Amino acid sequence: MKKLISLTVNGKSYQIATEPNQTLADLLRYELGLFGTKKGCEMGDCGSCTVIMDGKPVNSCLVLAMQANRRSITTIEGLESEKGLHPLQQAFAEKGAIQCGFCSSGMILSAKHLLDKNPKPNEAEIRSAISGNLCRCTGYQKIVEAVKGVRG
């Protein structure tokens, strides 16, 4: 039976009726049309479904929509502002850190969380922060360089 939940996604409040067995990833994609959140393995291995929930990056394929009740979610769509792309998005585009693009949303959100906590990470810290995000093009070097280009 569907239940009503309320949550904030990218600063906007929503009230949505959801089935208990719907994941947060599916809610974002199919109920809210936010297709920037990708579904890769759906087993918590690849990180392409990464979203930031109450300030922490998580695999949205492992979170039930109902667990997101009264929580705040940031997806890749939430990073762009009136001023344009988020500096990380800009850096990924400029440094060629986007190849097929499937891992980019998750990579950028994991990197954003790192930079919010630690504005001057070293390379090891960057690599550790994105260790739950797999790039199937194996383009890690340029991804790490893009994040380095944005650090304070």
- Among the listed ranges 6-14, 21-29, 79-87, 97-105, the one in contact with another protein (CB under 8 A) is 21-29
Exposure string for 76-98, b = 16+ CB within 10 A, e = fewer? bbbbeeeeeebbbbebbeebebb
Q: Whose CA is closest to 54, among 36, 69, 34?
A: 69
59 binds another protein (CB under 8 A): yes
Which amino acid does the sequence have at 129?
Answer: A
**At 104, phi and psi to the nearest 5?**
-60, -45
Please state, as a whole number, how many other Cβ atoms lie within 10 Å of the Cβ of residue 34: 20
- Among the listed ranges 13-21, 30-38, 77-85, 136-144, the one in contact with another protein (CB under 8 A) is 13-21
Q: Which of 43, 81, 83, 84 binds another protein (CB under 8 A)?
A: 43
Q: Which of 34, 110, 121, 147 binds another protein (CB under 8 A)?
A: 110
Q: Which of 123, 128, 136, 141 binds another protein (CB under 8 A)?
A: 128
Q: Which of 36, 57, 121, 139 binds another protein (CB under 8 A)?
A: 57
The alpha-helical segments, DSSP class H, found in the chain are 24-26, 87-94, 104-117, 123-129, 140-150
Cβ atoms of 16 and 62 within 8 Å: the answer is no
- Among the listed ranges 28-36, 43-51, 72-80, 86-94, the one in contact with another protein (CB under 8 A) is 43-51
37 binds another protein (CB under 8 A): no
Residues that bind another protein (CB under 8 A): 1, 3, 19-23, 42-45, 47, 50, 56-59, 61-64, 66-67, 69, 110, 128-129, 131-134
